[in-house]
Amino acid sequence: MNDSPNQKNSALTSSPYYAFCLLFLLYLFDYLDRMIIVSFFPFLKQDWGISDTQCGLLVSAVYWSILIFTLPASVIIDRWSRKKSIGLMAIFWCIATLACAFTKNFRQLFYARTAIGLGEAGYAPGGTAMISAMFPKERRAGMLGIWNASIPLGSALGIILGGVIAEHFGWRHAFGIVAIPGIIVAILLFYVKDYKTIALTMPLDTGEEKTNVRMQRKDIIRHFTTNKTLLFNNFAFAANTFVTTALLTWMPSYFQRIENISVSRAATKGAVVMLLAIIGAPLGGFLTDRWLKKRKNARLLFPAISSLTTSILLFTAFQFLQGQIQYLVLLGVGITAVAFVPAAVAVTQDVVHPGLRAVSLSLCVIVQHLLGSALGPPAIGALSDTFGLERAMVFLPMFTLVAGILFFIGSFSYAADTRRFEK
């Protein structure tokens, strides 16, 4: 007997791979909406006369908003519904993106960009928690690696489409064009299978028998503040995202100024570098999962190695090279700079209570945005205003070097912290 259409639709919406595809597309639109502004810098400077520092603030505005609202959003996600929370947030950030098209000055655009961050605040924690629940631990880094490949893809598409649309139709039209598809995907997510909310309990050994008791607020705070692996992992994550966000923001302007090429061509060159993270993120997750079978702390050793490699490549490219050779080395950076992400994200899920997974990633997001993403674009912008963009980029390798050292230190406590919650 053939399955009815309703049965087929039910099987599709219940499939973790269908939900994963929707989550991938939403993450793509998340970063597309977030980074499309980068291609508009020359036009905004011409239309409104703003500085490089202000251009950087239009990027960091999103991250500051995420920084403020990610923790309360993640609490709602962990305690309520993953799919409903994510769907509502996605619709909100797409509407905020559309609103950017109607702004008339820097202040209005800054506020609209802040609203985008409010919508995106809980998406990374919510999506990570869903994927961690849908797939086993042995495949967690690999699936998160594929999911995180949507970050460079969305960023690159945002930069490329932004430059092309802005040159042909005006920068305001680009906001409207990219907002609509995200709303459609968000609505589809409401019909996928959610997973059950996990009770916040912990085992209590009374001597005669083991019972589970509800975790109190002090238990949850201690859960995160005494976790050495999580602390080193999150600070290392921040150092790396300082670099990746700064590269995403300033590479198109770097190529335009150094090589004196058009906005669209410079945007494309910069986007291609970060687009290679489509290789780096899944590859990093795959290699980490393979190495995990032989080395228990591979999820911190691998990002330590990839971060140090990125530091060497960046220093070589910006300090010693120019032209085509420099660009080839930067293409290598496009692969190595994000190879740490799936392993580092998996760590935030491995060493915490399964009922606190969204909260765990939200704390990582707070640290990485406070010390990384929110600081990178305006810091390099300010250095550019003072020393020039070419010299400003030379500061980036020191941050990936610090990240590598922190990941390596954290690797010594990973196995012990994982054993507490691996079941």
Q: Which residue has the higher pLDDT, 387 or 165?
A: 387
Q: Are 414 and 300 in contact, with CB atoms under 8 Å apart?
A: yes
pLDDT per residue as tens digits for the range 22-49? 999 999 999 888 888 888 888 888 889 9
pLDDT per residue as tens digits for the range 187-199? 998 888 776 666 6
Q: At 201, is the pLDDT very low, low, confident or very high (cuts 50, 70, 90)?
A: low
Q: Please give the pLDDT value at position 270.
A: 85
Q: Which of 376, 367, 394, 365 is nearest to 56 (CA)?
A: 376
Structure tokens at 18: 């269908």
Q: Are 379 and 371 in contact, with CB atoms under 8 Å apart?
A: no
DSSP assigned state of 296: T
Structure tokens at 19: 């939900």
Q: Rounded to 5 degrees, what are φ and ψ at 211?
A: -130, 160
Predicted TM-score of the model (pTM): 0.75
Q: Rounded to 5 degrees, what are φ and ψ at 213?
A: -120, 150
DSSP β-bridge partners for residue 213: 202
DSSP assigned state of 337: T
Q: Give SS3 for 204.
A: strand
Instruction: Return the CA Rg of the chain.
Output: 21
Angstrom distance (rounded) from CA 323 to CA 227: 45
Q: Please give the pLDDT value at position 319.
A: 93
Q: Please give the pLDDT value at position 7.
A: 52
Q: How far is CA 216 from the centre of its chain?
A: 30
Q: Please give the pLDDT value at position 272.
A: 85
**Least confident span in 176-185, 215-224, 256-265, 283-292:** 215-224
Q: Which residues of 254-289 are buried (b: 16+ CB within 10 A; e: fewer)?
A: bbbeeeeeebbebbbbbbbbbbbbbbbbbbbbebbb
* Averaged pLDDT for residues 76-80: 79
Angstrom distance (rounded) from CA 144 to CA 115: 26
Angstrom distance (rounded) from CA 326 to CA 220: 47
Beta strands in 194-256 (DSSP E): 201-205, 210-214
Asked if pLDDT for residue 411 goes beyond 60, the answer is yes
**Least confident span in 12-16, 204-208, 364-368, 375-379:** 204-208
Tell me what percent of the residues of the chain surpass a pLDDT of 90. Answer: 37
Q: Please give the pLDDT value at position 291.
A: 94
Q: Please give the pLDDT value at position 410.
A: 95
DSSP β-bridge partners for residue 211: 204
Superfamily of domain 12-194+226-419: MFS general substrate transporter like domains (1.20.1250.20)
What is the torsional sign of CA 404, 410, 415, 418?
negative
Q: Please give the pLDDT value at position 1.
A: 47
Asked if pLDDT for residue 216 goes beyond 80, the answer is no
pLDDT per residue as tens digits for the range 272-294? 887 788 899 899 999 998 999 89
Q: Give SS3 for 128.
A: helix
Give the residue ranges of DSSP H helices in 121-227.
Answer: 123-134, 137-148, 150-169, 171-189, 217-225
* Averaged pLDDT for residues 216-229: 82
Q: Please give the pLDDT value at position 211.
A: 63
Q: Which of 11, 351, 34, 306 is nearest to 145 (CA)?
A: 306
Angstrom distance (rounded) from CA 23 to CA 19: 6
> How far, in Å, are 4, 177, 403 from residue 385 at the CA level?
64, 32, 26
